[in-house]
Amino acid sequence: MSCMETRGVQSIAQCPAPLDKITSWRSRAAQIDALQAQCFSVIARCGCFMQAARRLNVKATQLRKQLAQLEKQLQCSLFSPSESGLVLSRDGLELHRQLTALAHERDLPVLEQPVVRLAVAETILHDILGRDLVALLRRNASARLDIITLDSELSLQAVSADVVVWMTGIGSPTPGPSFAVNVPRCLARLDYLPHIAKRYSRVAARPAGLDDLADFMLVQWQHDRQIDSFRPWNDLVDQRLAGVLQSHSYPLMLEMVRCSACIGLLPGYMSHFDRGLIGLPGLFSQPMQRQVWLAVNAEAEGDAQVQTIVELILGTFEERREWFL
């Protein structure tokens, strides 16, 4: 007679345990430390140390240590070696059953994770923070993060969030969020230049003046039309009677520069983000600059999850400091 498979892992077939053994396992399961029981149960469900570690937001080595301590306490092996992943042993299968039964009997509540709302300028999310946010969520699969992209001053004024990363002109964090925040921190100062893909422009033929742009299509992200400091570029685009692409999508605009021999206005750090792109300095006499700001909702300053996000953002900008010099 074959027993049911444990959820998330391959279980082995076994015969029903005698009543005295079930009673013994029930007693042993009830005495297990809550943290060790949770670690074992998550490993059993996930069938993988790495995924279980992400679910619990701990290192895999720490999880293995917890399991080793539990096996030493119970004096048995809870998993059997298998090429297809972690497989519960007979003892492990019985322990998992009893822990599941105890959890149902006690009606233990699921620990709710607070939602952290992060509002961030779309270009900053795409170019700078995206990769590190993915890494954070890979480490902590139980997190609850609501990411809101800001693509205009209107969206910034309308949003409510715990952490806000936005952009302004030089010298002031205004206009900023409409709700109360702590003192804004300036994360970076960005210079903007027209950019082109290296593969579409030989060094000798790269535009050296505005007249040289006549042979190239210009691509503009619609959001940039609202930016006062981008007036030199916007005026150039507006004067065009042909050879202009307007895009409401930042990723599409960036892809057009990469792949369609277009020239677009991009942050000076773009050659670090994508080695295939190169800036075209000297085309405009007037600098085009913006600043990046970070602030925390005054009501959420003390929240540990919010501080984790803030530390991630500060760390990311510090690691990429050379991008903004």
For residue 251, what is the domain's CATH number?
3.40.190.290
Last residue of a domain, one of 106, 133, 163: 106
Going through 96-162 in order, the beta strands assigned E by DSSP cover 115-121, 144-150
Average pLDDT value over all residues in the chain: 85
- The three-class DSSP label of residue 148 is strand
- The per-residue pLDDT for 107 is 52
CATH of residue 79: 1.10.10.10
| pLDDT the model gives residue 12 | 38
Q: What is the pLDDT of residue 257?
A: 95
Same domain, 157 and 274: yes
pTM of the model: 0.70
Query: What is residue 110's predicted lDDT score, i.e. its pLDDT?
Result: 53
* 100 pLDDT higher than 90: no
* Percent of the chain whose pLDDT exceeds 70: 89
pLDDT of residue 152: 84
What pLDDT shows up at residue 175? 92
For residue 222, the enclosing domain spans 115-324
Distance CA 288, CA 230 (A): 6
DSSP codes joined into one string, 209-273:
SGGGGGGS-EEEEGGGGG-GGGHHHHHHHHH-SSSEEEES-HHHHHHHHHHSS-EEEEETTHHHH
Q: Is the pLDDT of residue 10 over 90?
A: no
Lowest mean pLDDT among 14-23, 157-166, 198-207: 14-23
Contact 55, 42 (CB under 8 A): yes
Please write the tens of the pLDDT for every residue from 118-132.
Answer: 999 999 999 999 999
Residues 119 and 54 in one domain: no
Q: What is the pLDDT of residue 220?
A: 96
Which is more confident, 87 or 249?
Answer: 249
Residue 5 lies in a domain: no
- Per-residue pLDDT, averaged over 188-192, amounts to 97
What is the band of 55 on the pLDDT scale with cuts at 50, 70, 90?
confident
Instruction: Say yes or no: 70 and 137 in one domain.
Output: no
What is the pLDDT, as a whole number, of residue 237?
A: 96
The pLDDT score that the predictor gives to residue 2 is: 35
Same domain, 99 and 141: no
Asked, for residue 203, whether it belongs to a domain, the answer is: yes
Res 5: pLDDT: 37
Q: What is the C-alpha to C-alpha distance for residues 272 and 114, in angstroms, rounded to an integer? A: 35
What number of other Cβ atoms are within 10 A of residue 71's Cβ? 18
Using the Cα atoms of residue 180, residue 183, residue 188 and residue 189 in order, give the sign of their dihedral.
Answer: positive
Domain count, the chain: 2
- Asked if 95 and 129 sit in the same domain, the reply is no
Segment 144-156, tens digit of pLDDT: 899 999 988 888 9
- Residue 316: Cβ within 10 Å count: 18
Identify whether residues 123 and 206 lie together within a single domain.
yes
Whether 308 and 163 map to the same domain: the answer is yes
Strand ranges (DSSP E) for the chain? 10-11, 79-80, 87-88, 115-121, 144-150, 163-168, 185-197, 218-221, 244-247, 263-267, 277-279, 289-296
Question: In what side-by-side order are the strands of the sheet with 87-88?
Answer: 10-11, 87-88, 79-80
Residue 168's pLDDT is what?
96
pLDDT in tens, 265-302: 999 999 999 999 999 999 999 999 999 999 999 999 88
Cis bond before residue 194 (omega within 30° of 0): no
pLDDT of residue 9: 43
Report whether pLDDT(81) > 80.
no
Q: What is the pLDDT of residue 6?
A: 39
My answer on whether 277 and 216 are in the same domain is yes
Please check whether residues 68 and 140 belong to one and the same domain. no
